[in-house]
Structures are given as C-alpha cells and as structure tokens.
Amino acid sequence: MLSNFCVDPLLTTEVADQTYLDALQRIIAEIHGCSSEHWDSVHVREVLGETVIWEGAVEIFYLFGHPRARRCFAWVSDRAQLGRPVRFFAILDSTLIHTAEDAVKYARIAESANLIDEVSRVSPPV
C-alpha cells in the first residue's frame, strides 16, 4: 500500500521561532555550502493505511549560491523519545523532490535504507 500525504491548510500557518530557523540555516550552510532565507512553514502528515508514519512542520528555504537547487526543505526529527539523538534534515529540491511531502518521503526511504549517515558534522545549538 502506498503512503499518502496530507497538507492541512489550517496548519500551514505554524510559525517556527527564529532560533530554530537560525539553526536550520546553519545546517543548510554547513551541509550544502550556501546561504538561505526562510520562505514558509508547511505542516506535513504522512499516513500509511490508518497509521501516521510522520507528522510535523517542514521549513522551506530559498537558497542563494547553490549550483543546482533553488529551495531546501528542512526539519528536525525528535528522536530523543526513542533514546536516539535529534536528527536534522535539509533536503534540496530536484527533479524528483518538488514539495515538502516529497522531501519527507525521500528522507524516510533513505533513512530506512541506511543511506543517511548517523553522524552530523554540525552540533545542535545549545
């Protein structure tokens, strides 16, 4: 069964605080080597059958100085409740990734296939 995504228009007005956005911008700069400007927050909910696989806000940034991508979809996955560290995601738009929903799906697939390195070069802000 394919998972499906819902973007709730009532929840897209979630506003991330500036400290969180600054942290995501530092992650984008470190990983992708470019500057960025926050554009929007989108609430994404991925559902498989009746089960919610992932739900949260994805921040959309415009990129400056990246050779291929114009936007980046970024968020933090709170895995502390699972006894694992927080993970930052910063997924570039591409021919396959056009939306926040696409980025979440790509990250989930890459993570399940162990394609994402557990060790980040960037420490989370204190």
pLDDT of residue 7: 39
Residue 76 lies in a domain: yes
Contact between 13 and 38 (Cβ < 8 Å)? no
In a domain, 68, yes or no: yes
Number of domains in the chain: 1
- Say if 48 falls within a structural domain: yes
20 in a structural domain:
yes
What pLDDT score does 85 carry? 72
Any domain includes 18: yes
Contact 37, 18 (CB under 8 A): no
Residue-range definition of the domain harbouring residue 36: 4-88
Q: Is the pTM of this model over 0.85?
A: no
The reported pLDDT for the residue numbered 83 is: 62
Per-residue confidence (pLDDT) for residue 126, from 0 to 100: 39
Q: Does 21 reside within a domain?
A: yes
Q: What are residue 37's DSSP bridge partners?
A: 62
- The neighbouring-strand residues paired with 74 are 59, 90
29 falls within a domain: yes
73 is a domain residue = yes
Per the CB < 8 A criterion, the answer to whether 59 and 41 are in contact is yes
